[in-house]
């Protein structure tokens, strides 16, 4: 074994005091050891932080200083659900953090061995972590890597402990990991961090929302087969909490709100979870519009985190730059790995892409591949659709019986069935039936190369990636109220076995220099109702 510090009994001793006895685990930031504090005669955990040999001596020194300074700040946090930091030392030019030793495994280990936890246990874990985060945030410390692997559960007592502040950020300080690369676990990382925007306490709360889903179902709702798929799911895909989260849905949906300004706060979320443990139902937090609205959720209203604001909130990153930013993040994440991934920033059921160049394939080993999907659409005539485009009619200003006219703050109005509720998802707006059986989506954007037909054909080409089990997809050129349009119809297997196969109708058209996209997705056994909802939505759609 390579040695630093003194040698005693064949084991490494650091700072003349801590004898490293057994390696407990390894993470992205270093190695954790079981150690003996020879001065106080107790068992401790020692985290040996990784040193980048590629850094210059000056950069390595600055990194060590930042590491020690931030670890010292975390050591000032005193909370029963935050790991206790006993000491911060340097030995042989390498920083070490000495912490309490928790007799018990991580939440990730528990899920792996015994399966997901029940809803009561998830609420208990959530309460503990929310209380811990409130203390950390009040002290100006962000965790930035909340995930099941960084939550310990003490054997015997069940005490929940938030650990591994190794990539934490202290307010007013340059973070120890600030080297121009992304740090964290993508499945649990907030969209504003993915998009390169400044992060704050709400980013940790997003991660906690994903953690609650993982605790209840066994995996994060943003888990995908590739890094590109994960980034797409976090930044722009439809958010689908697992069915097991339904009793806590107001909290989960509130924490997984993409706009950090509208995300549920820690105090409100904690109060709602405590109410669930006491009464068996989620109750509201104290005083905020978000918590009051979230508390009004029922299992049949699971599709909307809370009512939309009077004016649309600006996204954390302009839509014109979101694609390049995420693509740049993906390049950084896979650089040197020799792998490639695609950012597929589409809505469920394809439709209009986010903008020119937003669908970008990048490869660390083959940079020339990055432009593979940015060329003009194919001129090949698509096969005739088995369905028919919606008729071009004069758009009524009133809603038919059984519908209501929704005047959306995103800049449009249309008739939606009674009982459908609004769920904004980044650049898209959804109106969904109870239980999300029917999903009506709308997206407004700038015109794109190839017009509506080019947009939908590019989306259809990516159909197998964006819609699992995609088949029988057909794009047909048409018109809508005299404007160029394209109609896309396809079937796919749904996002889960419980959801089952689904069918999608999608119409994209140009009008007055803008691109409009309206689609409806529904189970294959309910296509007649879906087509009615789709036709009414298209026929009544107006820009406002």
Q: Hey, which residues are catalytic here?
A: 145
| 251 close to 263: Cβ distance less than 8 angstroms | no
Count CB neighbours of 16 within 10 A: 12
Task: Provide the β-strand partners of residue 162.
Answer: 82, 151
Q: d(Cα 284, Cα 305) in Å, to the nearest integer?
A: 13
Return the axis-axis angle of helices 119-138 and 266-279, rounded to nearest 10°.
150
- Give the whole-angstrom CA distance, residue 298 versus residue 282: 9
Annotated binding site for ATP: 47
Q: How far apart are CA 283 and CA 275, in angstroms?
A: 5
46's tokens: 């020692």
Under a CB-based contact definition with an 8 Å cutoff, are residues 345 and 315 in contact? Answer: no
Q: What is the DSSP string of 176-239?
A: TT-SSS--S-GGG--HHHHTT----HHHHHHHHHHHHHHHHHSS-TT--SSHHHHHHHHHTSPP
* Dist CA 410 CA 443 (whole Å): 9
Specify the residue for token string 């700072």: 15
Q: Are residues 96 and 14 in contact, defined by beta-carbon separation less than 8 angstroms?
A: yes
**Binding site, annotated residues:** 47
Long-range contacts (CB closer than 8 Å, 24 or more residues apart) made by 444-447: 444/410, 444/411, 444/412, 444/514, 444/515, 444/516, 444/517, 444/543, 445/319, 445/352, 445/354, 445/355, 445/514, 445/515, 445/517, 446/320, 446/355, 446/514, 446/515, 447/510, 447/513, 447/514, 447/515
Burial 58-87 (b: 16+ CB within 10 A, else e): eebeebbebbbebbebbbebebebbbbbbb
* 272/277 Cα distance (integer angstroms): 9
């Amino acid at each position: 074994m390579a040695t630093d510090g003194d040698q005693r009994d064949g084991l490494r001793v650091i700072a003349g005091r801590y004898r490293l006895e057994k390696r407990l685990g390894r993470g992205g930031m270093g190695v954790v050891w079981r150690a003996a504090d020879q001065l106080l005669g107790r068992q401790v955990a020692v985290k040996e932080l990784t040193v980048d040999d590629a850094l210059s001596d000056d950069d390595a020194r600055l990194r060590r200083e930042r590491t020690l300074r931030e670890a010292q700040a975390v050591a000032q946090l005193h909370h029963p659900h935050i790991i206790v930091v006993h000491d911060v030392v340097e030995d042989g030019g390498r920083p070490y953090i000495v912490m309490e030793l928790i007799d018990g495994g991580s939440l990730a280990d528990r899920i792996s061995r015994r399966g997901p936890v029940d809803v009561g246990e998830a609420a208990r874990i959530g309460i503990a972590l929310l209380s811990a985060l409130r203390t950390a945030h009040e002290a100006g410390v962000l965790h930035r890597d909340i995930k099941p692997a960084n939550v310990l559960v003490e054997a015997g007592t069940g005490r929940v402990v938030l650990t591994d502040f190794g990539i934490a950020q202290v307010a007013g300080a340059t973070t120890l990991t600030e080297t121009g690369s992304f740090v964290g676990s993508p499945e649990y990382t907030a969209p504003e961090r993915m998009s390169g925007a400044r992060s704050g306490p709400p980013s940790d709360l997003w991660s906690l929302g994903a953690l609650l889903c993982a605790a209840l179902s066994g995996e994060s709702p943003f888990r995908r087969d590739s890094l590109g798929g994960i980034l797409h799911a976090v930044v722009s895909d439809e958010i689908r909490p697992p069915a097991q989260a339904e009793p806590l849905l107001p909290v989960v949906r509130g924490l997984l709100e993409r706009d950090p300004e509208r995300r549920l706060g820690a105090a409100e979320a904690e109060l709602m979870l405590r109410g669930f443990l006491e009464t068996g139902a989620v109750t509201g937090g104290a005083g905020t519009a978000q918590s009051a609205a979230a508390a009004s959720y029922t299992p049949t209203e699971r599709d909307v985190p809370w009512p939309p604001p009077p004016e649309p909130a600006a996204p954390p990153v302009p839509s014109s730059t979101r694609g390049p930013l995420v693509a740049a993040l993906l390049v950084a994440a896979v650089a040197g790995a020799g792998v490639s991934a695609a950012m597929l920033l589409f809505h469920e059921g394809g439709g209009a892409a986010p903008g020119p160049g937003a669908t970008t394939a990048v490869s660390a080993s083959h940079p020339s591949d990055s432009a593979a999907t940015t060329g003009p659409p194919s001129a090949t005539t698509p096969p005739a659709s088995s369905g028919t485009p919606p008729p071009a009619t004069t758009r009524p200003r009133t809603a038919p019986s059984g519908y209501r006219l929704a005047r959306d703050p995103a800049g449009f109005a249309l008739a939606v069935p009674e009982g459908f509720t609004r769920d904004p998802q980044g650049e898209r707006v959804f109106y969904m039936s109870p239980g999300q059986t029917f999903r009506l989506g709308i997206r407004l954007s700038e015109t794109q190369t190839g017009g509506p037909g080019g947009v939908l054909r590019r989306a259809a080409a990516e159909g197998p990636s964006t819609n699992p089990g995609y088949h029988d997809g057909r794009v047909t050129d048409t018109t809508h109220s005299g404007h160029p349009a394209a109609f896309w119809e396809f079937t796919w297997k749904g996002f889960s076995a419980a959801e089952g196969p689904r069918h999608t109708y999608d119409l994209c058209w140009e009008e007055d220099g803008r691109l409009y996209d309206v689609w409806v997705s529904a189970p294959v056994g309910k296509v007649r109702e879906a087509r009615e909802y789709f036709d009414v939505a298209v026929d009544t759609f107006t820009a406002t």
